[in-house]
Chain A
Amino acid sequence: MRQWTWREHPLGAVIPEAATADHYETGGWRSLRPVLDREKCIDCFFCFIYCPDSSVMVQEDKMTGFKLQHCKGCGICAHECPKEAITMINEAEAKGLETCAADNKDGA
């Protein structure tokens, strides 16, 4: 899309499609990452209703975690969680955990 010439853009700068931002990643803004402790979670969904980035994932009426593609790490969810089931950890640390997990997986 970025390479479109003037002949290729929709007329009048109309975006003819809804929700294209869903494909845009804002997760890279994060310095802190929310981590859910499922054991403590009571599925009150306060995190869901207070999330500015529509990033709280719910499946079959259960809070399952965060859409990290969009989560900007503001920490509102952790701050508002009545059960302290969400902690904000450093993104670098989280990435480290991911790498370890990936390494482990590779090794398995």
Chain B
Amino acid sequence: MAKTVAMVGTDAVAEAMRQINPDVVPAYPITPQTAVVEKYAQMVADGIVDSEMINAESEHSAMSAAIGAAAGGARVMTATSSQGLALMWEMLYIASGMRLPVVMANVNRSLSAPINIHCDHSDSMGARDSGWIQLFSENAQETYDNVLQAIRIAEHPDVLTPVMVLLDGFIISHSIDRFDLIDDDVAKAFVGQYTPRNSLLDAANPSCWGAFDGLGGYFFEFKRAQAEGMLKAPAVIREVGKEYAEISGRRYDYFASYRMEDAEFVIVAAGSAAGTIRTAVDIFREKGLRVGLLKLRMFRPFPQQELVEALSHAKAVAVFDRSDTFAGDLGGPIFVETRSAFYEAEKRPQLMNFIYGLGGRDLPMSLVNQAIEMFKDAGSAEQKKRIVYLGLRD
């Protein structure tokens, strides 16, 4: 029987990790992720899990140790946030390039400067092209569910690509939320055993990892092969989601649609903001405006075709971004991807971008309402604006 618990989001990560019981957990504390490693360290200390923890001396070393351990054939998990993820940046590419199925929770937090410990998505967005699969979570339940599924996705032979599970700092990580835990034995059976393709610790077959491509010129081929893992990931993510629904009753896909059937005005958003937006959708629906929400779960790989199909009937789409690209007048990263996805589409809705919540700026209902009022007129003479900083003191 599933068990309903009331815990903070970092506990949701730790609980999933407890059930997975990875071989090695290298980590370094950083706000707001710290509670994950603290909780897990306690589980190790209490003998609840038999993982070996490495208290690395930095996030760079934590990811380096994760790579070493994964190349040694171990199932490896870690967690980080913000500057920690930024410090790992170099190693993220090496984990994905070596096709190591490391799973990492990233508790989304803004990047300095100025220093700020609260939520936005600029940390994980900075890693969007690092070859990691990225799955957003709306709440503790989704965080827990995503972590369990991430193992299966990462280790799938067609994929063999690391996965980053994203949860909003403080909003999810430090809020007590009610969610359901799958039974331990069911969860364990779902994630199964990990059998590595190659291992440094295969005594009979010594192997060489991280060789130099200085002279032969195979780098291009490796990167194309790496892209294949990402190309095959969506089918696996969908399949794993279906299988997970069977044991949990909760269905996961590339994105979740809310009141989208006849929606003319659609908000695309990722992370915890979806809850507030859903309520706003209901309110506007009552007023007779056909609004819907498309909650993006899978940001990498980006589900461009499916997204275009889902949005094809919309008159206007508002993309909510919790980070900026600082690329001139280009907008936030989800907006950039969405806009690009529509390039070949026959029918293109008006697109607006709302950049919100940087550095943990709250997203109250009033701001969502304000955004809906604005983008329902998108493209009209009154509303020519494409990119709006929502909630900015202007």
Contact = CB atoms under 8 A, between A and B. Distances in A.
Contacts of A7: 225
A10 B222 CA distance: 9
Q: Contact size class for B?
A: 20 to 34
Contact of B208 (A2, A5, A9, A18): A18
Contacts of A15: 207-209, 211
A11 B218 contact: no
Given A15-B207, A16-B198, A18-B208, A9 B99 contact: no
B198 A9 contact: no
A6 B222 contact: yes
Interface of A is mostly: loop
B100 to A, nearest CB: 7
B249 interface: no
A4 B218 contact: yes
A16 B205 contact: yes
A2 B213 CA distance: 12
A49 interface: no
Interface string B200-243: 00000111111101001010111011001000000000000000
Contacts of B160: 11-12
Nearest to A13: B222
Interface string A5-41: 1110111111111100000000000000000000000
Interface in A88-106: none
B222 A14 contact: no
A39 B107 CA distance: 73
B213 A13 contact: yes
Contact of A11 (B216, B220, B224, B225): B225
A41 B224 CA distance: 55
Q: B97, B98, B208 — which one has the most chain A CB atoms within 10 A of its CB?
A: B208
B361 interface: no
Contact of A12 (B99, B218, B220, B224): B99
Contacts of B218: 4, 9, 13
A2 B217 CA distance: 9
B197 interface: yes
A2 B221 CA distance: 11
B221 A4 contact: yes
Contact of A2 (B211, B216, B224): B216
A13 B220 CA distance: 11
B208 A6 contact: no
Contacts of B206: 18
B154 to A, nearest CB: 13
Interface string B73-97: 0000000000000000000000001
A9 B220 CA distance: 11
Nearest to B216: A2
A13 B198 contact: no
Contacts of A17: 205, 207
Contacts of A4: 218, 221
Interface string B154-181: 0000001000000000000000000000
A14 B221 contact: no
Nearest to A11: B99
Nearest to B229: A11
A12 B208 contact: no
Contacts of A2: 216
Nearest to B220: A6
Given A4-B218, A11-B198, A13-B210, 9 more contacts: A6-B222, A9-B222, A11-B197, A12-B97, A12-B198, A12-B222, A13-B211, A14-B198, A17-B205
Interface of B: 97-100, 160, 197-198, 205-211, 213, 216, 218, 220-222, 224-225, 228
The 5 closest A-B pairs by CB, nearest first: A12-B99, A6-B221, A15-B208, A18-B206, A6-B224
11 contacts: A6-B220, A6-B222, A9-B222, A12-B100, A14-B98, A14-B197, A14-B209, A14-B211, A15-B211, A16-B205, A17-B207
